[in-house]
Amino acid sequence: MSGPRPVRAPRGTELSALGWQQEAALRMLQNNLDPEVAEHPDKLVVYGGTGKAARDWRSFDAMVRTLRTLKQDETMLVQSGRPVGVMQTHEWAPRVLIANSNLVGDWANWEEFRRLEQLGLTMYGQMTAGSWIYIGTQGILQGTYETFAAVAAKKFGGTLAGTITLTAGLGGMGGAQPLAVTMNDGVAICVDCDPRAIERRIEHRYLDVRADSLDHALRLAVEARDARRPLSIGLLGNAAELLPRMLEMGAPIDIVTDQTSAHDPLAYLPLGVDFDDMASYAAEKPADFTRRARESMARHVEAMVGFMDAGAEVFDYGNSIRGEAQLAGYDRAFDFPGFVPAYIRPLFCEGKGPFRWAALSGDAADIHKTDKAILDLFPENESLARWIKMAGERVHFQGLPARICWLGYGERDRAGERFNDMVASGELSAPLAIGRDHLDCGSVASPYRETEAMLDGSDAIADWPLLNAMVNVASGASWVSLHHGGGVGMGRSIHAGQVTVADGTPLAGEKIRRVLTNDPGMGVIRHVDAGYDRADEVADERGVRVPMREG
C-alpha cells in the first residue's frame, strides 16, 4: 500500500521519463515534496496552510508512474491532485494540464470545500504547491525584499536601518520576512506559535536569533535598532495575544504586517488553544475552531489598526486576515491597505513578477551560471544586480537549486532564450524548469490581494486568469495550471500558473519565446484595460498590441 515516505527528485542527466518535458514535471512534483522544501511532506503539504502537491499517496504514485511513460504527444490531466486521464495531443501541447480546488461560485466556500475534501474528491492546491513550481522560501524572498524596500522608500528615506518591523508567521512563505527585513538593514520581530517554524528558519539562515520572552525580544530589537544594525528575532507565541500586549506596552514599532496562515481559519491558532492541541481540535471541531480563530484574528487586526493609529506603517501581506477579522465583526479591518495597491501595482503594469527557474541537474553551479547570465543580460538594472548578488551569498537552496528574480515584459523571454542556449551549448549540465508564482501581474483575480482596488473597479473579474492559462497552453508551456482559492482562501481568488522547460532544443526555444512573452504580456494588457497610464506607456514602448487602443 502506498503511504508517506521521503521523496526527493533525482539529480543528473539520466532520464526516467521519455523526454525532458515529462522528466521536468516528474522532478518538480517530487521536489515539491522533498523534506527540505515542503513544510509537512508526510501529509503531501508543501506550504501555505494545507497547500498540497498531490491529493493522496496513491495519486502521487499514479502521477509518477504516468509521467514516466508519457509520450511526447500525450498530455496527463490532473484534477485536484489526482491524475484522471491521458489524452493524445501534439508536441506543442503541455505535457500536463492541472485544475486544482475549483468550485462553482455559490459553492466556493471552505465549508463545502472541506466536505468534498473529506470525501476524497478534491484538494487545496494553494498556488505553486499543486502546480509543482514551489522552490522553498526563496520563492517569495525577492518579492518580500522588494516590498520592504518599497516601504523603506515610501516612509523611511530608502532604508529600514533604525526601524523595527513586527510581523507573525514564519512558515514556508512568511519565513522570508526576517531575511527580507535584514536585507533592507532593518530589525524584525517575528512571532510564530510553532517552535519548529522558528528553528527551521534559523537553520536555513532566514532568521538570526530566537528570543526567550517578549521583553527579551524588545530589548534585542531596541539595541539593534539604536545601533542601526540589522537583526531578526523569532518570538514564540500567539500573535493574537502578543500584538495587543505590545501595543498596550507602547512597544516602539515602525512597521506592522502579518503572514500567519489566516486565509485558512483552520490553520490559524485561536487564543487560548495550545499549539500542541491545534491539529486535533481543528480536525474534531472545525466549526468551533473557525469561530474562535476568526475572533482571535479580529483581536490581532485590531492591534494592527492600533499600531497604525499610533503612526506605524501597516499593511496586509496577502493572507486575507482583514477579511477574516471582518467576518468576526471587526469593522475597521480594512482601514489599512493590502501590499499590492500600496507597493506592487506599478511593477505589475510593466509585466513584472516573480519569474523563477530550477536546475534539474541538482547542481548549484548551474544556478550560479544563470545568475551571471542575468547580470550580463540586464546590466542597467541595479536593484536586480543587488538582489542576484545577495541571493548568491545568503540564500540557502532547498531541494533542487533554484533562483527567483522579478522580470517584466521583454525581459523574461530574453532570459529564457539565453538559458535554453546555455543548455544547448552544454554550459549548463542539464535542462532548467522555468516558471513563476501565480502571484503575478496578469495571472490572478484576487480582490483582497493582487487585484485589490483596481483603478476601474474590476477587482473580482476572473476572466483574466482563464485567458492567461489558455494563452499559455496555446503558446507551448510544458505544464499549465488553473486554481481557485490560493493565497487568500476559498471564494477569494482564481489564478493560473505555467512552467516551461528549457531543454536546449530549438523547439523549446520557440515555445519559450512565445510563453515568456505572452505570459507577462497578460499583465500589461490587464493593466491597460483597467486604465493604468504606466501600462499604456509599456505597451507603446515595447509593442504590446491592444486592439481597443488601435485605430
Nearer to ligand NAD, 233 or 544 (CB): 233
Query: Exactly one of 193, 349, 405, 441 is catalytic; which is it?
Result: 405
246 binds ligand NAD (CB under 6 A): no
37 binds ligand NAD (CB under 6 A): no
Contact region with ligand NAD (CB under 6 A), list: 168-176, 363-371, 415-423, 454-462: 168-176
Which residue has 477574516 as its cell numbers?
324
Tally of CB atoms within 10 A around 231: 21
Task: Give the span between the Cα atoms of 64 and 133, in whole angstroms.
Answer: 16
Strand 164-168 versus strand 255-256 pairing type:
parallel
Contact region with ligand NAD (CB under 6 A), list: 61-69, 96-104, 254-262, 525-533: 254-262
CA angle 4, 133, 116 (to 5 degrees): 55
179 binds ligand NAD (CB under 6 A): no
Binders in 374-433 for ligand NAD, by CB under 6 A: none
186 has binding-site annotation: no
Which amino acid is it at 222? V
The DSSP code for 89 is -
Active site residue 193: no
List the one residue from 7, 17, 25, 48 that touches ligand NAD (CB under 6 A): 48
Q: Least distance to ligand NAD from the beta carbon of 239, Å?
A: 4
133 binds ligand NAD (CB under 6 A): no
Contact region with ligand NAD (CB under 6 A), list: 43-51, 395-403, 417-425, 518-526: 43-51
236 binds ligand NAD (CB under 6 A): no
239 binds ligand NAD (CB under 6 A): yes
Nearer to ligand NAD, 61 or 199 (CB): 199
318 binds ligand NAD (CB under 6 A): yes
Residue 152 burial class via C-beta count within 10 angstroms: exposed 0-12, middle 13-18, buried 19 and up: buried
Q: Annotate 187-243 with DSSP letters as a single string.
A: EEEEEES-HHHHHHHHHTTS--EE-SSHHHHHHHHHHHHHTT--EEEEEES-HHHHH
Task: Give the span between the Cα atoms of 394 and 407, in whole angstroms.
Answer: 20
User: C-alpha cell of 385?
Assistant: 544586480
Tally of CB atoms within 10 A around 290: 22
List the one residue from 181, 183, 190, 191 that touches ligand NAD (CB under 6 A): 191
Question: CA separation (Å) from 432 to 35, 85, 389?
Answer: 21, 26, 20
130 binds ligand NAD (CB under 6 A): no
171 binds ligand NAD (CB under 6 A): yes
What is the side-by-side strand order in the sheet with 313-314?
Answer: 209-210, 231-236, 187-192, 164-168, 255-256, 313-314
124 has binding-site annotation: no
39 binds ligand NAD (CB under 6 A): yes
Q: Least distance to ligand NAD from the beta carbon of 405, Å?
A: 15
238 has binding-site annotation: yes
Q: Which of 57, 8, 58, 44 is CA-nearest to residue 125?
A: 44
Backbone angles phi, psi at 250, to 5 degrees: 75, 35
Active site positions, annotated: 405
Contact positions vs ligand NAD (CB under 6 A): 39, 47-49, 140, 143, 168-174, 191-194, 197, 238-240, 259-263, 267-269, 317-319, 439, 487
Q: Output the known binding site for NAD(+).
A: 48-49, 126, 172-174, 192, 238-239, 259-263, 268-269, 317, 487
